[in-house]
Amino acid sequence: MITGSLTALVTPFRNGAIDFAAMTDLVEWQIAEGTHGVVPCGSTGESATLTHDEHLALIAHVVKVVRTRVPVVAGTGSNSTAEAIRLTRGAADAGADAALMISPYYNKPTQEGIYRHYAAVAEAARLPIIVYNIPGRTASNISPETLGRLARVPNVVGVKEATGSLAQVIETMMACGPDFAVYSGDDILTLPILAAGGAGVISVTANVVPKQFAELATAVRAGDLERGRTLMRRLFPLVQALMTLEVNPIGVKTALAFMGKCADEFRLPLTPMTSRNRAVVESALREFGLV
C-alpha cells in the first residue's frame, strides 16, 4: 500500500509545449523536500488538454527522473474505457507504480457502468489502480457500495475521495475493508480523513509545500493528532488561497510561478489568474515565507 502525502503534480508549459526541464526540477525538488510520492497527468496536471502522446511521454519522463526513489502514480483516467486501458497500459510500460483513474465524466454512467469500467481496465492493464471519485468534475458519485465491489477486484487497490463528505469517506472505509487504501482528494479534509484511518493524501497544495504535507501525513498516521492539528492550522490559509479563488490548477500554478518553479502558463480553456486573486495568492505565500 502506498501511504503518506503524494503530490498531484502540475504540468509546466512554455510557449505552448510541455516544459520537461521545469518538470525535472519540480520532481527533484519534491523528492528533496520529502514528498512520499508523485502523481503526474492528473487533473492538476491539466491532463484534459494533453494529447495522448504528450500524456504518455510525460509519465515516462517523470518515471525516469524519479528513478524509483518514490512511487509514481500516473493519471490514466478517461470517459472512454478503451482509452483508459490504452493509457494505463502505457503507464505500466513506462514503469509507473500505480494508476490514478478519474471516474468516467460527462457520459454519467450508472453504478454498474462505473464498476464495469474499472473492472475492465484492471483486467486489461495489470497495474494497481486507485479510483478517483470527484463528483464536482465528473457529474457522478461512486457510491460506497460500488467501491466495496471494486475493492474485491484484483488490482483495484484504493480510492482518492474528493466528494467533500467525511460521512461518505467513513462509509467507504467500512464497505471496503482495511486493505483498501482511502486517500484524501480534498486538501482541506486531509486531517480528518487521515485521523479516520486514511492511507494518505493526493495533494494539490503539496506542489508548493511538499515538506509540510509530508510531515502532516506522517504525524497523523503515527497518531500525533496534536502535531497534525498544528500543521493543518498553519496550512489552512494557503490551502484556501490556492484552492478556492479559481478552479484548480490555476491557483497552485500561479503560486509556483511566484516561487520561480515554472512559468505562469496554461492551456485554454484555462486562463491566467485575475490580478486581484494573484495578489491574494502572493500575500498567502509571503505569510508562509515562500516568497
- Residues involved in catalysis: 132, 160
Burial of 136 (0-12, 13-18, 19+ CB in 10 A): exposed
C-beta separation of 35 from 68 below 8 A? no
**Neighbouring residues of 52: CB distance < 8 A, sequence distance ≥ 6:** 83, 86, 87
Closest CA to 189 of 220, 172, 164: 164
Angle, helices 52-66 vs 81-94, to 10°: value is 30
Burial of 175 (0-12, 13-18, 19+ CB in 10 A): middle
**Neighbouring residues of 205: CB distance < 8 A, sequence distance ≥ 6:** 187, 213, 235, 238, 239, 242, 243, 252
